[in-house]
Structure 1
Amino acid sequence: MNSEFTIAVHILVYLSYLPDHMASSKTIARNVSTNAARIRKIMSILRHNGYIKTKEGIGGGYILNCDPDEVTLAEIYLSVSIGTLKPNWCSGDPEQTCPLSSNIQHVMDGIFNETETYLCRYLEKITVSSVLKRLFS
């Protein structure tokens, strides 16, 4: 899993904590403890998927455009991190005659796909607002 998922959740929880308030990428970056360019990259994905709106210019920034009671972490994961559980490097070589080396990548791909399915099922039970509530309980 990549850090974009955690950052995206943090951003949406932060904006749901400040309903009806604009927040700049600099302000959000300070809260998330990362740089504003990285925030803008993730915000682009969140805006594309309708979770936030933007306003340019003086007094502009980002504002929540979704119901935090309805948006699940699974939706966010699917928006920013789908497929990231699988490592970029896989062992084995499909061209080998060894049954282990020629099949391990295929088997591990299946395991990672199943794992991602289970993860999404779990994340479907958690909403942005429930994460916010956990912070204050």
Structure 2
Amino acid sequence: MNSEFTIAVHSLVYLAYLPEHMASSQSIAHNVATNPVRVRKIMSCLREAGFVKTKEGTGGGYTLTADPKDITLGQVYRSVSFGAIKPTWCKGEREESCLISTNIQKVVNGIFLEADQFFAEYLDKTTIKSVLNQIKGQTE
């Protein structure tokens, strides 16, 4: 798992908490406790996925384009972090005559791809709205 997913979920929940309000990358970054440049990179992925829209210039920022009850964490994961479970491989010399060293990467990559798909499906059970409701329930 990488932090892009966490930042994306936090940002979307923050926007859902402020409906009809445009939030700048600086205000989102302050709320998430990260750098505005990092927020803009992640928000770009969320814009491409159709979850947010942007307005540039003075008074610009981000707003949700989808209903928070329709955005699943699985969709968010697929848009910013799919493939993050897969480990990186060492790029050393392989013993070409060894059945294991010549095939392990392909086989294990398939296992992690399947794990990624199962994880995304699990996350599809939770929406941005339900995360916001849980947060509100803890503070009320």
Same fold (TM over 0.5): yes
What's the counterpart of residue 97 of structure 1?
97
Q: 1:111 to 1:91 in 2, by over 3 A?
A: farther
What's the counterpart of residue 65 of structure 2?
65
Residue 90 of structure 1 contacts residue 105 of structure 1 at CA under 8 Å; is this kept in 2? no
In 2, Cα distance between the equivalents of 1:58 and 1:105? Answer: 49
Percent identical pairs in the alignment equals 58
Q: CA offsets per residue over residues 23-71 of structure 1, 9 Å max, x none?
A: 1110100001100001111111111221111122232211111110011
1:3 aligns with 2:3: yes
In 2, Cα distance between the equivalents of 1:103 and 1:73? Answer: 33
Q: How does 1:89-128 map to 2 (within 5 A)?
A: 89-90=89-90, 96-128=96-128
Partner of 1:69: helix, strand, or coil?
Answer: helix
When the two structures are aligned, how many residues end up with a matched partner?
A: 137
Partner of 1:54: helix, strand, or coil?
Answer: strand
Residue 92 of structure 1 contacts residue 105 of structure 1 at CA under 8 Å; is this kept in 2? no
Residue 68 of structure 1 contacts residue 128 of structure 1 at CA under 8 Å; is this kept in 2? yes
In 2, Cα distance between the equivalents of 1:5 and 1:30? Answer: 17
- What letter corresponds to residue 53 of structure 1 in structure 2? K
Give, in angstroms, the shift of residue 81 of structure 1. Answer: 1.1
Q: Higher mean Cα deviation, 66-75 or 46-55? A: 46-55
Consecutive unaligned residues of structure 1, counting only runs of 5 or more, are none
In 2, Cα distance between the equivalents of 1:86 and 1:15? Answer: 30
Give, in angstroms, the shift of residue 136 of structure 1. Answer: 2.6
Moved over 4 A (4+): 90-95
In 2, Cα distance between the equivalents of 1:109 and 1:19? Answer: 41
Partner of 2:53: helix, strand, or coil?
Answer: strand
What's the counterpart of residue 36 of structure 1?
36
What's the counterpart of residue 27 of structure 1?
27
Residue 73 of structure 2 contacts residue 123 of structure 2 at CA under 8 Å; is this kept in 1? yes
- What letter corresponds to residue 78 of structure 2 in structure 1? L
Partner of 2:69: helix, strand, or coil?
Answer: coil
In 1, Cα distance between the equivalents of 2:114 and 2:36? Answer: 34
Residue 92 of structure 1 contacts residue 101 of structure 1 at CA under 8 Å; is this kept in 2? no
Consecutive unaligned residues of structure 2, counting only runs of 5 or more, are none
In 1, Cα distance between the equivalents of 2:3 and 2:19? Answer: 24
- What letter corresponds to residue 36 of structure 2 in structure 1? A
Q: TM-score, normalised by structure 1?
A: 0.91
In 1, Cα distance between the equivalents of 2:67 and 2:113? Answer: 29
